[in-house]
Amino acid sequence: MTVTRFAPSPTGYLHVGNLRTALFNFLIARKAGGQFILRLDDTDPERSKQEYVDAIMEDLEWLGLTWDRVERQSSRLERYEAAAEELRAKGRFYECFETPTELDLKRKKQLNMGRPPVYDRAALNLSEAEKDRLRAERGQGHWRFKLDQERIEWEDGILGALSIDAASVSDPVLIRADGQFLYTLASVCDDIDFGITNVVRGSDHVTNTATQIQIIEALGGTVPGFAHHSLLTGPQGEALSKRLGTLALRDLRAQGIEPLALLSLMARLGSSQPVELRSSLDEIIEGFDLSAFGAAPTKFDVNDLFPLTAHYLAQQPFEAVAEQVRALGVPDDIAEAFWTVARENITTLTDLEGWWALCRDGAEPVVADDDREMVAAAMALLPEPPYTAESWGAWTAAVKEATGRKGKGLFMPLRKALTGMDHGPDMASLMPLLQKVRR
């Protein structure tokens, strides 16, 4: 059975970069009829907060990305310690005592000599007496996994055949000096224990994948299929990381972005398939094709979400928005007609408030100097509300007869006098909704 996971750290809010990873793993699992696990990487007790756990779940539920079960790494520390002991027993785990400053000096020295800044494994040469002395001086050391210095190869689901020489990579630190288990060890144990079959994540994890493959094999696990999607950039190709704080999913929701608009974009962005608004999450699942994605950085522009949201809303029946419409105070007898008129003229649901204000209170007339005389005559011919579907035609015909105006020279000034705008819904449909007209 296909089993995927989304593994956020509850140290902040989800943003569009996180969503890409969550969505791909969700779609793979659902398309295969498999399982999708929400795994909370909360081994950092200082930065992990329950408020972020709640926010992550809220954001995923808003999008309809439901999970089959939740796993928390903070409840699995004994499992990680057992794995560490197994690696020690197999000679694949060793304690190191260099300070961050010492490691930085080593890296700079290697770079100055034209060598890759790879850890030199000096700790492997320490005697037990030397380790005891260093522990007495510096406290407990950090623990590194000893890589087999051979080429690590795998077939990536997006990038194709990949190969990394383990000799060009530092032995990864899996446990910090303070005893905290780091992502790599915890993630490997979880993927083994939960039977994860597919892992999709950002291309910045490619080197991590190489080392994780060796750790999985050292612990006797089955290596899942890996795929690395491209990273998002801004619309001009700029780094998106500096703007992610403004691209949190909850901020997009507050701006009125509809879930299906966001999902439709993210399920196709960066692929060879065209971005099209899909009518349901099931349709997105059915049409998802991981092999259609490429390695090139993917440009994301938040402004692309607004036309998709407008398109989505224009297709919605009254029943889908009845609660929001009535919350504005629109009377029941015109609520459905109001939605039918407004939905083609809004970008987000928040725009409904402006349209109802126009219908309820009337608009400040906008009248050009050379139209003042004609508009004044027109307003004298306009009765008070209520209006019907025939009111616009009858009124404009009367104004044409009285002023001689016709065509755009007749209709545009009258539209602007009633709505304050030079665009909008069909006036014959809008007039019956007008509760008041400003003269």
Quote the pLDDT of residue 237: 87
- Range list for CATH 3.40.50.620 in the chain: 3-231
Percent of the chain topping pLDDT 70: 99
Q: What is the pLDDT of residues 344-360, one digit of tens each?
A: 999 999 999 999 999 99
Mean predicted confidence (pLDDT) in 64-76:
97
Quote the pLDDT of residue 5: 98
Quote the pLDDT of residue 242: 58
pLDDT at residue 40 tops 90 = yes
Helices (H) and strands (E) in the chain, counts: 18, 12
User: SS3 sequence, 358-383?
Assistant: HHHHCCCCCCCHHHHHHHHHHHHHCC
The architecture in CATH of the region 3-231 reads 3-Layer(aba) Sandwich (3.40)
CATH superfamily of 233-313: Glutamyl-trna Synthetase; Domain 2 (1.10.1160.10)
Q: Which of 213, 399, 288, 377 is nearest to 32 (CA)?
A: 288
Q: Which of 39, 10, 42, 41 is nearest to 25 (CA)?
A: 39
Quote the pLDDT of residue 243: 60
pLDDT at residue 246 tops 80 = no
Mean predicted confidence (pLDDT) in 196-206:
96
Quote the pLDDT of residue 244: 61
Q: What is the pLDDT of residues 6-30, one digit of tens each?
A: 999 999 999 999 999 999 999 999 9
Quote the pLDDT of residue 241: 66
The amino acid that residue 389 corresponds to is A
What distance in Å separates the CA atoms of residue 75 and residue 57, rounded to the nearest whole number?
18
pTM for this predicted structure: 0.92
Place of tokens 């016709």: 406
What distance in Å separates the CA atoms of residue 411 and residue 3, rounded to the nearest whole number?
61
pLDDT at residue 144 tops 80 = yes
pLDDT at residue 158 tops 90 = yes
Q: What is the pLDDT of residues 78-112, one digit of tens each?
A: 999 999 999 999 999 999 999 999 999 999 999 99
Give 120's pLDDT tier (boundaries 50, 70, 90). Answer: very high
pLDDT at residue 135 tops 80 = yes
Mean predicted confidence (pLDDT) in 265-278:
97
Quote the pLDDT of residue 64: 98
- Range list for CATH 1.10.1160.10 in the chain: 233-313
Cβ 174 vs Cβ 182: under 8 Å:
yes
Mean predicted confidence (pLDDT) in 227-254:
85
Quote the pLDDT of residue 245: 62
Give 240's pLDDT tier (boundaries 50, 70, 90). Answer: confident
Quote the pLDDT of residue 311: 98
